[in-house]
Amino acid sequence: MASNDERPVQAAATPEAPRVKWNTMNLKSSYCNVCNANSTKEEVVLNFGMNSNWDRPHNELEIDLAHRVIMSPFAAKRLTEILNNLMKEYETRYGALS
């Protein structure tokens, strides 16, 4: 005998990742060809800048730093994983970098 009380079957409760909405209203893009990193126990610091001395021989290079990104070691670890995956995909598509 069929039941008239048909209810949708619920899937097992699994945590669903939140949807991410990228707000690019204040996004600024810049080109950097130099990156330097250092850390303390509490934070990882990435400095990005531009070396524009490529056409002249110098004993000392002057780098114009433009951006400093400071993050927790946990965020830096996630960034490491993201970049490693990105580079694997890049080399699969375009060939290995030496």
- pTM of the full structure: 0.70
Position 61 scores a pLDDT of 84
pLDDT for 40 equals 97
pLDDT score, position 79: 97
Above 90 in pLDDT, residue 3? no
Task: For residues 71 and 66, give the distance between their C-alpha atoms in angstroms, rounded to a whole number.
Answer: 17
Asked if 65 and 47 touch (Cβ cutoff 8 Å), the reply is: yes
Count Cα neighbours of 29 within 13 Å in the Cβ-side half-sphere.
Answer: 1
Instruction: Please write the tens of the pLDDT for every residue from 50-95.
Output: 998 877 777 888 899 999 999 999 999 999 999 999 999 999 999 9
Q: Which helix (H) or strand (E) holds 94?
A: helix 73-94
Mean pLDDT confidence for 27-45: 96
Question: Going edge to edge, which strands form the sheet with 63-71?
Answer: 34-39, 44-51, 63-71
Dihedral angle sign, alpha carbons of residues 86, 89, 92, 95: negative
- Provide the phi-psi class of 95: left if phi over 0, else alpha when psi is between -120 and 50, else beta: left
Q: Which residue has the higher pLDDT, 91 or 15?
A: 91
Residue-range domain boundaries for the chain: 34-94
The pLDDT value recorded for residue 52 is 85
